[in-house]
Structure 1
Amino acid sequence: MTKPRVGIMDRMINSIEWLAAMFVGIVALNIFLAVVLRKFFNTSIPDSYDFGRMLLGILIFWGIAATSYRGGHITVDLVWTAASPRMKRWIDVFATLVLLFVVAVQTAMLFDKVRGTYVDNVLTYDMNIPTWPFYAVAWLGDVSAVVLIAIRTYRLIFHPELLHDEKPEMKADE
């Protein structure tokens, strides 16, 4: 049995998904440390609230990136379920193009937020750390989502066999 060829697109997809997973771990670690320090040592991490808030934003945008490509997120669509395979593909292409447009506009707006926090020199409360790098990392997650949705769109149109979609109807048959 030969190994499937892993191209640059697949490496980008896997890297983005691993980064999103690492941010989940960072957020969990921040929460765990804050609770342990508060409960057992009656102290806190300086700027813990600001870090937690910004890390959660980063996690959300990288989570959008991670779920944008696979198609394994929660969906409910009676029209799609009843459609023929050819019509399902057209619905998927249309929906993915709409998603690509929406996330691209969101990415442009988020860049404006990054620029605004940089120009306004917004700082954290306790240690006066600039907040714009956190916003920039969140923005990179949104950029990654646009890249993954573009890859998904390309594959839906030209190479649907390369998609890694999770098929709920297949799982129900198992």
Structure 2
Amino acid sequence: MSAPAKRGIVDRVIDAIEVTAAIFLAAVTLLTFVSVGARYLFSFGILDAYDFSRLLLGILIFWGIAVTSYRGDHITVDLLWSWGGPGLKRALDTFASLVSLGAMLVFTWMMGEQVLSTRASNLLTFDLRYPVWIFYFVAWIGLACAILLLVVRTIRLIVRPEVIEQQPHVKVD
């Protein structure tokens, strides 16, 4: 049995981003499960459960965008891609990554503006009066990670496309 290949820092950062997205998914699932169970079994509601679950869901979506942007696991229309040879496929993948990167740059910039606006407005959750801008900021970090991963993906598509094709999904040891 051969030893596993040594993973570089970029791959470890990618793995950390994927694990972070998975943790947010687990948090949303757990909060929803506990909240519904407490409400129906004990007639007791968790304070700010609705606010926290919707804010965490937003965070989860933005961190998920980061993961799917790198993996290329999002919904695609690949009619032209499936007919093309390796050169065309690589060119289309690179073009799609660059377009996604441009869109994500604008989206991240606008979300950063929203974080600052929400912080300035002092928006708070309903029950616990917890600042909402913190959740927006964590979501913004997910978008910033999406930009990082799209840059890595684009560079790898240009320089070493075999790394993208052979990239395994995250395994938590």
**TM-score scaled by length of structure 1:** 0.91
Task: Tell me the residue number matched to 1:58.
Answer: 59
The one-letter amino acid of 1:67's match is T
Task: Tell me the residue number matched to 1:82.
Answer: 83
**Stretch of structure 1 that moved more, 99-108 or 75-84:** 75-84
Gaps of 5+ in 2: 168-173
CA drift of 1:163 comes to 1.2
Paired residues, what number?
A: 166
Superposition pairs for residues 71-110 of structure 1, below 5 Å? Answer: 71-110=72-111
CA drift of 1:71 comes to 1.6
Q: Equivalents in 1 of 2:165, 2:89: separation in Å?
A: 16
Task: Tell me the residue number matched to 1:135.
Answer: 136
When the two chains are superposed, the root-mean-square deviation of aligned CA atoms in Å is 1.2
Gaps of 5+ in 1: 167-174
Superposition pairs for residues 23-172 of structure 1, below 5 Å? Answer: 23-164=24-165
Q: Equivalents in 2 of 1:73, 1:63: separation in Å?
A: 10
Going from structure 1 to structure 2, the CA distance change for 1:165 and 1:79 (only over 3 Å counts) comes to farther
Q: Equivalents in 1 of 2:43, 2:165: separation in Å?
A: 47
4+ aligned runs moved over 3 Å, structure 1: none
Q: Equivalents in 2 of 1:5, 1:73: separation in Å?
A: 28
**TM-score scaled by length of structure 2:** 0.92
CA drift of 1:2 comes to 4.5
**C-alpha distance after superposition, 1:2-58 (max 9, x if no partner):** 532311110111000000000000000010011011001101111111101101100
| 2:125 counterpart SS class | coil
